[in-house]
Structure formats: structure tokens, C-alpha cells
């Protein structure tokens, strides 16, 4: 069940990479085969205690293994272990990083002369973006929807920035009237617009937020850690597409290759539209930047050591799956969205369940019918457990009842929050599996 071709590829590629170092004196590396094997066998056994993220029956959180090409390229790089802080630590992999970040910038944000780099993940990438927000608008507020990722508030507290939540509406996105009231009060430095909320996949109305930016003057940071790659697909709803089309008018964006970009963890990406954001990163590091006068990525990132292997894996992945509209990668992503659409149609037609929201990307959220909010929550938990017993893995989410667009006339509201079910259909294979998941769901309640 677990893919192994990447190991065969790796053997051949490892020999090729070794050829590049044949002119240096050989030295003997101790073989620890006999000692390593039993320990790695223990690791293999321990790792069995995981959900099968690689299988389409896992339709829970945003989790899946990297693509085999990313796995092979990352592992290959591990024999060198480059560090993309400085050219001294990662000469080849730094060049690869600059290339892939440019590709993401041009194809998703439509920015040509931007400045960006990979990060260890979405949180670090957002931290860098909000740090620049704080530097450019000292003392000003950061606003984000109450449905935005929880880390924005935490990052703001780490950076000692004044953060405020914007209330959301029944579409699961920031309420624009509320936002405008806040803007009228003044002193707003940055509005964080989420394209693809973690819980529901809903996209903030970026088009309107950009209009407000031109009226009131503030920075817009787009958190597209999850949703960014959907800019490339052809099957978004018209309103969602329009919001993605306004990314280019924002000031910074975060997109995580380790979510929908087929990469192993440790790969986020932050990009600033204006390259002059680089001036805030200026620092002295006399012991790292001496091998070249070319740009060292550590000069434009907050983290010091970063895995060069992440850039290598993403570079190889872009060769097979260029991040372009109409390309092979986009077609695979369209399957994820189609799986979500098809599953949500079944939910709507079932008579037993309700959609929480029409999916905007590939995340489906729904709940069973019930006489009260508490009953619905306990039914959701029952379904979650019962499905797991059948090797189908869903996720749950606690959602404010006031944000749910549902006729509660015959449902007692006896709790402020409702537990709903959630499926991230982020594997193209979900297109052939979602019917099976639905049939099982339908049979257990
Ligand atoms: C929209 C959004 N922003 C930020 C993050 C945080 O990213 P990471 O977990 O890579 O730090 C997530 C994670 O799910 C996310 O969905």
C-alpha cells in the first residue's frame, strides 16, 4: 500500500549526486546497518499508530503525505542537508528556492518584482508578514476575521501588535459592514484576508476588502496558507474566483506548499509585493555571509537555519507539476474540489444531514439533523466515532450557532456552539472515494 518507487529512483539519483564529489579524497564512513535496522524497525512499528493520511478513506484534517517526487528529492537532499540561511550552507538549494518562490509569486499573486522566501510553515510565514505590517504601520491595529486562523491573534501578541477580531457573517467570512465601522474609527494598519479558512474553506471577500483599502488606506495581508493554490483551478464559484483574482492588489501573501503543494512539512512561503520590504530584514551576520556578494536568503528571512531540502523538494515538484493554470497540478486540484462538490450534493439530497456552508474550495462541513443543538453535537460525535470504526476518518469542528444559516424553528438552541463534521477532500483520489464515504455515513445513522 505504501509507495516504494521513490526508493528505486533515490538509489539511482544518489549515485549521480555522488559523482559530483568524486574529486575529493575518499573517507570511510562507518556502516551502522546492524544497529540501525532494529531501531528503525521499532520506528516502523511505532508509526503504525497513525491515521492512514495517505488513503482516501482519510477525509479528516488537511493532512496527506508529500508526492513521491517531493519525497525522493527531499531524501536525496538529506545526504547533503543544505541550510538555506546562507549561500555557504546551501548554494544549489538557495538558487532552487529563489526559482520556486518566483514561480509561486508570478502564477498565484501575479507579482513579478516581489520579495519572498520559504519558511518552516504557515505560522512563521504569517508572523513575518505581520511583523512587516507592524514595522510599516507602527502602533496601528491588525484586523482579522473571527474565522481566521487562531495564530494571527497569537502572532500579534508575540509581536506586541494591537489585534482585533472582525465578526463573521453566515458565509463564514468577515462581515464587511463591521469591518468598515472599524475602519471609520481609524488607526487600522493591516487587514488580514483569509482565502480558504481552515475550518470551512470559506474565502474572505477580498474584492470588497481591496476596494476598502483604496478608500481608507491600509495594508492587506492575504492568508492563503491553505487556499492559495486554488488560484490555478478552473472550477471555483464565480464569487470565489473573483476574490482570488484580487490577490494581486494585496501587499503580502502566505501560501503553504506543505498543505496543497504536495510537500513534506516544513514548507511555508511568504511573499511581499514590494521588494523594499527587504529593508526591514537588514542585520549584521559577519560569520555567515562571506562566500558571495549575491543575496543570501538569511538576509531576507527571520529564521536563521532553514531546510534547503524543502526548496529542493519543491523545485522537483514544480518540474513535474508546474504551478500554472490549466496544467497537470491544477487539474489534480480540480478533482479535489469536484470531490467536495459531489459529496456536498449527496449531503444536501440526503434528508438526514445539512450543509453548514456551500464549499468554496475542497472542504465540506455538515451536520446531522436533530431536535436541539446539543443533540446535533452528540450525533456528530457519534458519527465521527462510528466512521472511524469502519476505517473512514472525518474531522469535527465546534462552530458558533449564531453564524449558521439554518432555520432553527424546530431545533432548540441550547448551546452557543454546535459540533459539526468536516472533511478536507484534499487528495485527488477522493473523487473516486467520496461516494463510498457518503454511503457509509448514510448507513450508520
Ligand atoms: C489559513 C491558515 N493559516 C495559517 C495556518 C498555520 O499554518 P502552519 O500549520 O503551517 O503553521 C493554517 C494551518 O492550517 C491555515 O489553514
Per residue in 155-167, pLDDT (tens digit) is 999 999 999 999 9
Task: Give helix then strand counts, H and E, for the chain.
Answer: 13, 11
Position 111 scores a pLDDT of 98
Q: For the chain, what are the domain ranges?
A: 91-320, 328-444
- Label residue 285 by pLDDT band (50, 70, 90): confident
CATH number of the structural domain 91-320? 3.40.640.10
CA 225 / ligand 1 centre spacing (Å): 6
Cα of 362 to ligand 1 centre, how many Å?
16
User: Which tens digit of pLDDT belongs to each residue from 222-275?
Assistant: 999 999 999 999 999 999 999 999 999 999 999 999 999 999 999 999 999 999
Pick from 217, 220, 216: which is nearest to 195 by CA? 220
Site to probe by mutation for ligand 1, drawn from 118, 149, 252 as the one with most ligand atoms within 8 Å of Cβ, is 149
- Would you say 381 and 419 are in contact if contact means Cβ atoms under 8 Å apart? yes
Closest-CA residue to 7 (of 59, 53, 100, 72)? 72
Q: Under CATH, what is the fold of the domain 328-444?
A: 3.90.1150
Of the CA atoms within 13 Å of residue 28, those in its CB half-sphere come to 3
Does the pTM of the predicted model rise above 0.85?
yes
List strand residue ranges (DSSP E) for 268-322, in order.
268-272
Instruction: Give the Cα separation of 425 and 66 in Å (integer).
Output: 15
Q: Do residues 333 and 171 make contact, with C-beta atoms less than 8 angstroms apart?
A: no
Half-sphere exposure of 307 (CA within 13 A, CB side): 23
**pLDDT for 339:** 98
pLDDT band at 383 (very low <50, low <70, confident <90, very high): very high
Kindly give the number of the ligand 1 atom that is closest to the alpha carbon of 258: 10
pLDDT band, very low/low/confident/very high, at 28 (cuts 50, 70, 90): confident
Distance from residue 149's CA to the centre of ligand 1 (Å)? 7
Distance 255 CA to ligand 1 centre (A): 9
What spacing in Å lies between the alpha carbon of 201 and ligand 1's midpoint?
Answer: 12
Mean pLDDT is lowest, of 73-77, 234-238, 283-287, 299-303, for: 283-287
**Model pLDDT for residues 401-425, shown as the tens digit of each residue:** 999 999 999 999 999 999 999 999 9
DSSP 228: G
At residue 222, the pLDDT reads 99
Residues 179-210 have pLDDT tens digits of 999 999 999 999 999 999 999 999 999 999 99
Please give the torsion angle defined by the CA atoms of residues 133, 136, 139 and 140, in that order, rounded to the nearest 10 degrees.
Answer: -60
User: Would you say residue 1 has pLDDT above 90?
Assistant: no
Residues with CB under 6 Å of ligand 1 are 62, 121-123, 126, 149, 151, 194, 198, 223, 225-226, 256, 268
Amino acid at each position: 500500500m505504501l509507495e516504494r518507487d521513490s526508493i528505486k529512483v533515490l538509489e539511482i539519483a544518489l549515485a549521480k549526486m555522488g559523482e559530483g564529489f568524486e574529486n575529493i579524497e575518499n573517507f570511510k564512513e562507518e556502516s551502522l546497518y546492524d544497529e540501525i535496522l532494529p531501531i528503525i524497525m521499532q520506528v516502523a512499528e511505532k508509526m503504525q499508530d497513525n491515521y492512514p493520511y495517505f488513503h482516501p478513506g482519510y477525509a479528516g484534517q488537511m493532512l496527506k503525505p508529500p508526492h513521491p517526487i517531493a519525497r525522493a528529492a527531499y531524501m536525496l537532499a538529506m545526504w547533503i542537508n543544505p541550510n538555506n540561511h546562507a549561500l555557504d550552507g546551501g548554494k544549489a538549494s538557495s538558487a532552487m528556492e529563489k526559482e520556486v518562490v518566483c514561480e509561486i509569486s508570478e502564477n498565484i499573486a501575479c507579482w513579478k518584482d516581489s520579495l519572498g522566501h520559504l519558511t518552516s510553515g504557515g505560522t512563521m510565514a504569517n508572523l513575518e508578514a505581520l511583523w512587516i505590517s507592524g514595522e510599516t504601520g507602527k502602533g496601528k491595529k491588525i484586523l482579522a476575521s473571527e474565522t481566521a486562523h487562531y495564530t494571527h491573534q497569537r502572532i500579534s501578541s508575540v509581536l506586541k501588535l494591537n489585534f482585533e477580531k472582525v465578526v463573521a457573517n453566515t458565509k463564514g467570512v468577515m462581515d464587511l459592514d463591521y469591518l468598515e465601522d472599524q475602519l471609520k474609527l481609524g488607526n487600522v494598519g493591516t487587514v488580514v484576508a483569509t482565502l480558504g479558512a481552515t475550518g470551512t474553506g470559506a474565502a474572505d471577500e477580498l474584492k470588497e476588502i481591496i476596494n476598502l483599502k483604496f478608500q481608507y488606506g491600509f495594508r492587506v495581508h492575504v492568508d492563503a496558507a491553505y487556499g492559495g493554490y486554488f488560484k490555478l483551478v478552473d472550477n471555483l464559484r464565480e464569487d470565489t474566483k473573483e476574490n482570488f483574482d484580487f490577490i494581486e492588489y494585496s501587499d503580502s501573501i502566505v501560501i503553504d506548499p506543505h498543505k496543497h503543494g504536495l510537500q513534506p512539512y516544513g514548507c511555508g512561503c511568504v511573499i511581499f509585493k514590494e521588494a523594499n520590504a527587504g529593508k526591514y530584514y537588514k542585520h549584521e551576520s559577519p560569520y555567515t555571509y562571506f562566500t558571495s556578494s549575491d543575496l543570501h536568503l538569511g538576509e531576507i528571512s527571520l529564521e536563521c537555519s532553514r531546510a534547503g531540502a524543502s526548496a529542493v523538494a519543491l523545485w522537483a515538484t514544480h518540474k513535474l507539476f508546474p504551478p500554472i493554470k490549466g496544467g497537470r497540478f491544477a487539474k489534480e486540484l480540480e478533482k479535489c474540489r469536484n470531490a467536495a462538490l459531489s459529496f456536498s450534493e449527496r449531503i444536501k439530497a440526503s434528508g438526514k444531514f445539512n450543509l453548514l456552508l456551500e464549499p468554496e474550495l475542497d472542504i465540506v462541513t455538515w451536520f446531522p439533523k436533530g431536535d436541539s443543538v446539543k443533540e446535533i453535537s452528540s450525533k456528530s460525535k457519534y458519527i465521527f466515532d462510528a466512521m472511524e470504526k469502519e476505517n473512514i476518518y472525518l474531522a469535527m469542528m465546534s462552530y458558533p450557532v449564531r453564524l449558521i444559516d439554518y432555520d432553527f424553528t424546530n431545533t432548540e438552541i441550547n448551546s452557543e456552539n454546535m459540533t459539526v463534521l468536516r472533511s478536507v477532500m484534499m487528495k485527488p483520489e477522493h473523487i473516486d472515494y467520496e461516494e463510498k464515504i457518503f454511503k457509509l455515513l448514510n448507513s450508520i445513522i
